[in-house]
Amino acid sequence: MLKIETFALGPLQTNAYLIRGDEEGKAIIIDPGMNPAALIRRIEHLEIEAILLTHAHFDHIGGVDEIRKMKKCPVYVHPLEAEWLTSPKLNGSLLWTEVSGPYATDPAEYDLAEGQKLQFVGHEFTVYHTPGHSPGSVSFLCGQDLFSGDVLFKMSVGRTDLPGGRERDLYDSIRSKLFRMPDEVKVYPGHGPKTSIGYEKANNPYVS
């Protein structure tokens, strides 16, 4: 069973997830966002096996550089957004100057791909390519815990008006991949409270 801690980071309150398994002292991080001081204090005495990125918008990657250097851990991102880590224009930090200065970090060590199985903290994480909010958006499923990034929220869905977004792809990702998961799967989104697949199938006003 995963132990999941949530940190709402930065001016956009982006959810960073610290995930531990059965091995004491080891963890992974999904989407270390901006102003990560609280997360950094929490991981001081932990071994971080990896940083997994659901996508590479600036508010989801703002803590990557500091944590990677501190913990010497690899970063995983979908190849369609590999260049976003090194480009403030592509990751949006250049466009949102009111909330972020230009941000860039080194390239990711590893690519993510549809159907890939990752072994971390004694558990298996399956990668789902779920584009729409951004071209390289992915979701991670471990058991009955789904980390959906900015694809699916409680009673909402990700925006598609940013560069690389596409509404048709977003709804296809939700209907053909996420909504085919069991109703009891818990959804941990990139912003806001957690929810479940069953609740969203029954109540989300954006996806019928």
List, for residues 129-155, the tens digit of each pLDDT value. 999 999 999 999 999 999 999 999 999
Give me the residue label for tokens 């803590």.
63
- Return the CATH number at 96: 3.60.15.10
Work out the angle at residue 148's Cα, subtended by the Cα atoms of residues 22 and 98, and round it to the nearest 5 degrees.
115
In a domain, 182, yes or no: yes
- The percent of the chain in helix, strand and coil, each rounded to the nearest 5, is 25, 30, 45
| Alpha-carbon span 202 to 128, nearest angstrom | 22
In a domain, 113, yes or no: yes
Q: Which amino acid is present at 123?
A: H
C-alpha atoms less than 13 angstroms from C-alpha of 64 in its C-beta half-sphere: 30
In a domain, 208, yes or no: no
What tokens were used for 71? Answer: 């913990």
Asked if 53 and 60 touch (Cβ cutoff 8 Å), the reply is: yes
* CB neighbour list of residue 26: distance below 8 Å, 6 or more residues apart: 20, 46, 47, 48, 49, 121
Work out the angle at residue 76's Cα, subtended by the Cα atoms of residues 23 and 8, and round it to the nearest 5 degrees.
75
What tokens were used for 79? Answer: 């190849």
In a domain, 187, yes or no: yes
pLDDT at 164: 93
Asked if 160 and 133 touch (Cβ cutoff 8 Å), the reply is: yes
Q: Residue 95: pLDDT above 90?
A: no
What tokens were used for 144? Answer: 């009955």
Residue-wise pLDDT tens digits, 7-47: 999 999 999 999 999 888 999 999 999 999 999 999 999 99
- pTM for the structure as a whole: 0.97
What tokens were used for 116? Answer: 């890939």
In a domain, 195, yes or no: yes
Paired sense of beta strands 75-77 and 110-111, if any: parallel
Chain mean pLDDT for the chain: 96
In a domain, 31, yes or no: yes
Give me the residue label for tokens 């010497």.
72
Tell me the residue range of the domain where 140 lies.
Answer: 3-203
Domain tally, the chain: 1
